[in-house]
Each structure stands twice: as structure tokens, then as C-alpha cells.
Structure 1
Amino acid sequence: MSEQTHRERISVNHPATERVNQPGREEGVVRAGAAPVEHERPEDWGWHGETGRWGRIGAVIATLFILAYLFGNHEGRIEDLWVVAIAGLMILILLLDWRRRRNAWRAK
């Protein structure tokens, strides 16, 4: 389907919308009379960067909970390998994060 045919189909099926050119973005379809979104900052949606200290504390607690699965009423040892591997991966990620923050210009 050609671009022109597609545009005609949209305008026929949705008369309450119009196409607008947005600087630095693709052409958008907005409601008639509404302004297109110029720029959305991540902070407007609640994202402010890293999880910080509480995220790292949560990761340590989650790792301890994973390791708690080693103690139980199971008899096989294959699942223990998986539990230790996952906990080891989580510890490795925490150590890499600690090293990155220690060597960063602006550590959080």
C-alpha cells in the first residue's frame, strides 16, 4: 500500500484526527485541535535515574532470599547448582555496580 493511499485511508476512517509534522520526529496523527507532543522528558514519567541505595539493599536482600532456597526438604542437588549460579550472577552484578560507582565521577 502506498503512503498516499495510507494517508487517505486514515483521513477517511478518522475524520477527528489530523496529520502534523513534528520537528526531529516522524509525522504524527493527533486529534483535531490538539497540539502534538514536542518533547517528553523521562522525569515527566517518574524516571529519575538509578534506584540508588535502596535498590542495592533490595538486591542484597533478594540474593539472600535466593540463597535461602538451599535449605529445605529437597533431595536433588541439580537445583542447588542453579540457585548458586543465579545468586553468584546477582553478586557479580552487585560487585560490578559497586566498582562502577566507586570509579565514577559522580557516584550515587
Structure 2
Amino acid sequence: MASTELEKKPSQAIDPADEPSVEWGWHGGFPKATQVAGWFSVFACLIMLIGNHQGILSGGGHFKTEDAWLIIIAVVLVIGLLIDLRRKKTAWRR
């Protein structure tokens, strides 16, 4: 009579003692939560341009270093999020 238990592969590259999730095959992430958190971070960076410092959008009329940092960080986040979206969209082609 055939056994009803699943056979475990003896040649696993990852030891289940180190990573218990390898036994049941989950090594995923949280793609929707990552996108939501990323776009929220972009919004938070850009909304900080309107703050209590005298930057370009706060009535100071001068471009400050902190404004440049906030814009650069927001742009890098947007590029990363768009690359992530494109990678997920074309993942089935691999």
C-alpha cells in the first residue's frame, strides 16, 4: 500500500532548522503593502517641503539643502516603485 505522507527532499539547499518556512514553501513578500508604504513615503517627503522651515514652498523664496534632499529622496523612491511595478508586471515573461 502506498504511503499517504509527503516525502521530504533530502537535497534541500536550505536547512529547515534555519528557516522553518522552507518546509512549506513560503518565501514571499508583501507586494501591496510595499507599494502602499512606498507611495506614502513619497507623499510624506513631498509634504515636508511645506513645513516650518523657510524653504522654497514655505514662503522663504530660497531653495534650501533640505528641500533638495527631500526631492531627491522622493524621486529615488518613485523610480524604485516604478521599477518594482514594471518588474511585477512582466514577471510572467521570464
Q: 1:80 to 1:42 in 2, by over 3 A?
A: farther
Number of aligned pairs?
Answer: 69
Q: Give unmatched runs, 5+ long, in structure 1.
A: 1-22, 25-37
Quote the offset at 1:70 in angstroms.
0.2
Corresponding residue number in structure 1 for 2:29: 50
- Note the aligned Cα RMSD (angstroms): 2.6
Quote the offset at 1:78 in angstroms.
1.1
Point out the structure with the larger strand share: 1
Q: Which has the higher contact order (CA 8 A, sep 6+)?
A: 2
1:48-99 CA-partner distances (Å, limit 9, x unpaired): 3121212211111111111111001212511100000000000000000011
Corresponding residue number in structure 1 for 2:74: 87
Describe the SS at the equivalent of 1:105: helix
Q: Does 1:78 align with 2:65?
A: yes
Q: Which of these two proteins has the greater Rg computed from alpha carbons?
A: 1
Describe the SS at the equivalent of 2:51: coil
* TM-score, normalisation: structure 2: 0.61
* TM-score, normalisation: structure 1: 0.54
Pairing of 1:13-24 with structure 2 (within 5 A): none
Q: 1:50 to 1:67 in 2, by over 3 A?
A: same
Runs of 4 or more above 3 Å deviation:
none
Q: Give unmatched runs, 5+ long, in structure 2.
A: 1-10, 56-63
The share of aligned pairs that are identical, in percent, is 33
Contact 1:67-1:87 at 8 Å conserved across structures: yes
